[in-house]
């Protein structure tokens, strides 16, 4: 039996799936993913997958629950159709922020999502810029964790000089330090205090940013409160310009309005999540593609080659 590869997608980010298929020089496989009148997800695989190596590309972005259930039900359908191996490709892994118990009686949703995916027959996962690296350990199957950093680093090198890399909180210091090392740049940290979810107050800047181009680095931007508060503090401390780089453009609630009214001159994101009309509403947002990165990883996983050189 030849080792045939097929790539499917739900409704979360079909443009990225098509871009990946263009890189792989193959068609996007047929699947009908729609809803019944009561909102239940209906999936029908449109071609034979018996004995094939299947990749399902589906970021679990807004509406998160719909896209997560699409992914779960598609994988169940593919398993029941006798696919040889099913790999869940999650350019954005939703429910990742609750990755540990920080208070009594709260869930660990990142683990719950991993359990759901494994229960329906996922045999491998391919993720990008997870909110926390330990999420890989929530799976009992192989997980390949890619980073958008090579693409971000290239953009920074081409467009900025005299840079200081800034972590918007203590949790992102390791990621930001890695960028600063590769750019031979200085490192600064925002000391902040979070009062409630999606609300934070930037308290102080640790490090020298005066007269420099400050680049805030985070894995995702949701309501943009953290980034905009940090940008204001950096300008207050004498930064010449403030820019931001985030892998995942969640951009919910007042995010666009906040960015438009902030000190952030540009926000660089990837197309792991579709922007929709948000790009038109905010001219400061620049989108970099991760289609080639994910396509190369899928190709190497299928051919049983090493993907370690893609890790940064």
Annotated catalytic residues are: 192
CA 34 to chain centre: 24
| 195 neighbors 224 (Cβ within 8 angstroms) | no
Scanning the chain, the segments in alpha helix (DSSP H) are 14-24, 64-80, 109-119, 149-159, 173-183, 225-236, 255-260, 278-281, 291-302
| 198 neighbors 172 (Cβ within 8 angstroms) | no
* Pairing status of strand 186-196 against strand 163-167: parallel
106-111 long-range contacts (CB < 8 A, ≥24 apart) are: 110/135, 110/138, 111/138
The token pair at 90 is 């999650």
DSSP state for residue 309 in the 8-state scheme: G
């Amino acid at each position: 039996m030849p080792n045939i590869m097929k790539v499917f997608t739900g409704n979360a980010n079909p443009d990225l799936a098509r871009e990946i298929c263009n890189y792989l020089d193959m068609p996007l496989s047929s699947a009908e993913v729609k809803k019944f009148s009561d909102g239940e997800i209906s999936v029908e695989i449109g071609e034979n997958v018996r004995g094939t190596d299947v990749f399902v590309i589906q970021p679990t972005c807004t509406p998160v629950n719909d896209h997560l259930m699409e992914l779960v039900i598609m994988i169940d359908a593919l398993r029941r159709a006798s696919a040889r191996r099913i790999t869940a490709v999650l350019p954005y892994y939703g429910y990742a922020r609750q990755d540990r118990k920080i208070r009594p009686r709260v869930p660990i949703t990142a683990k719950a999502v991993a359990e759901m995916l494994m229960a329906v027959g996922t045999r491998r996962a391919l993720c990008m810029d997870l909110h926390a690296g330990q999420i890989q350990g929530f799976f009992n199957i192989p997980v390949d964790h890619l980073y958008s950093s090579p693409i971000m680093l290239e953009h920074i090198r081409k467009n900025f000089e005299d840079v200081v890399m800034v972590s918007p909180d203590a949790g992102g210091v390791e990621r930001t330090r890695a960028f600063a090392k590769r750019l031979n740049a200085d490192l600064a940290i925002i000391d902040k205090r979070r009062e409630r979810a999606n609300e934070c107050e930037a308290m102080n800047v640790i490090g020298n940013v005066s007269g420099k181009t400050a680049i805030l680095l985070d894995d995702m931007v949701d309501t943009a409160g953290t980034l905009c508060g940090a940008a204001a503090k950096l300008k207050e401390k004498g930064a010449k310009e403030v820019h931001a780089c985030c892998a995942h453009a969640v951009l919910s609630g007042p995010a666009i309005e906040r960015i438009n009214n902030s000190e952030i001159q540009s926000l660089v994101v990837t197309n792991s999540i579709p922007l929709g009309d948000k790009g038109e509403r905010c001219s400061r947002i620049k989108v970099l593609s991760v289609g080639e990165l994910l396509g190369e990883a899928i190709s190497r996983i299928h051919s049983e080659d090493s993907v370690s050189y893609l890790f940064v």
